[in-house]
Amino acid sequence: MSEELIISGETKEEKYASLLPQIESLISHEDDPVAVMANVSAAISDTFGFLWTGFYRVEGNQLVLGPFQGPLACTRIPCGRGVCGTAWAEARTLVVPDVDAFPGHIACSSVSRSEIVVPFFKDGKVAGVLDIDSDRTGTFDSTDARWLEQAMVALSRKLDSASAPEGEAVRDGVVVYCASSSQVPAECLDAALEMGRLIARAGLTLVTGGGYRGLMARTIDGALEEGGRVTGVLPHFMLERGWAHEGLTRCIDTPSMHVRKDTMASLSMAAVALPGGIGTLDELCEIMTWHQLGIFTGPVVIVNTGGFFDPLIAMFDRMRELGFMRGGIIPAHVVATPAEAIDYIIASRR
């Protein structure tokens, strides 16, 4: 990639939309994490001119200063102290409109007035934080959080890839979207159990929302019964409420629902939708959109257990007939059973 940024747009949203692909390219084309952090902090600083932009890395029980742009900074921050230490301890993004109002704020610079801190992860644990300070109050909001979280997902993905054992396939997951409710027809629960079993038998990793109830739990149970691997991805607030399945092989803590969905997709080479509610429809439609745009290149499969998805499929057909589906193609493959789903996924890998 060129070392020159090309930023277009006037609004903050437009600038982030222009910057993010360039940050993702910087991350994907360099293996040294310090070099990556240095260029990412420079890219954000050049684009927005914030007072301070940089990284702190987790070392033992403290954060240690990493690459940054701006005035001198604190070199070490204990876990749970200040905005950075709290974001690490709680594994979530913190947007602070006025740092003087934040309990226990550590004043590395007397000029700082507002701050945003976004964690990044390695092997499901916080590996550090991106810290940005402004000399004005109220600088940061949900727009900054959303785009910066996407950038840190890319960094986390890179760190996970670098730490994977030699020869191990990093992207071998099949993400399964399904209901977290157990008050559903037995045939749906049975299909979920079978889906988990078949993913494990195929030597693939089940990627899931990681919950301990409903179809989600049954897919996990099925994979574990066959000795398979299960990666559960849950936002921090769900982990705090004890919603994680106890049998997960790996549990990834994310700062938000948006990062959760992106992380699940990034670990997967295929996506499967089983019967579910609003959350399942949200996940299915988003992964179909990503597939249509070429962001997610693996197969997307809808398992139409007992005709559950018939009304939705009819709606998709209606969209296609009226020209609302790009190229007249529905970006998902519909099957009747989990066995057909896994056969289609395996065939797509060849």
- Residues 87-105 pLDDT 10s: 999 888 999 999 999 998 8
How many C-beta atoms lie closer than 10 Å to residue 71's C-beta? 13
How confident is the model at residue 167, as a pLDDT? 42
How confident is the model at residue 79, as a pLDDT? 94
Q: What is the pTM of this model?
A: 0.64
Bridge partners, residue 336, by sequence: none
- Residues 294-317 pLDDT 10s: 888 899 999 999 999 999 999 999
Q: Which whole-number Å values give the CA distances from 73 to 70, 98, 162, in the listed order?
A: 8, 18, 28
Is the pLDDT assigned to residue 166 strictly greater than 60? no
- Residues 216-239 pLDDT 10s: 999 999 999 999 999 999 998 898
**Would you put residue 161 in left (φ > 0), alpha (ψ -120 to 50) or beta?**
alpha
Is the pLDDT assigned to residue 163 strictly greater than 70? no
d(C-alpha 183, C-alpha 76), whole Å? 50
Q: Which whole-number Å values give the CA distances from 304 to 95, 189, 210, 264, 313, in the listed order?
A: 42, 13, 22, 22, 9
Confidence of residue 110 (pLDDT cuts 50, 70, 90): confident
- Identify the DSSP state of 296: S
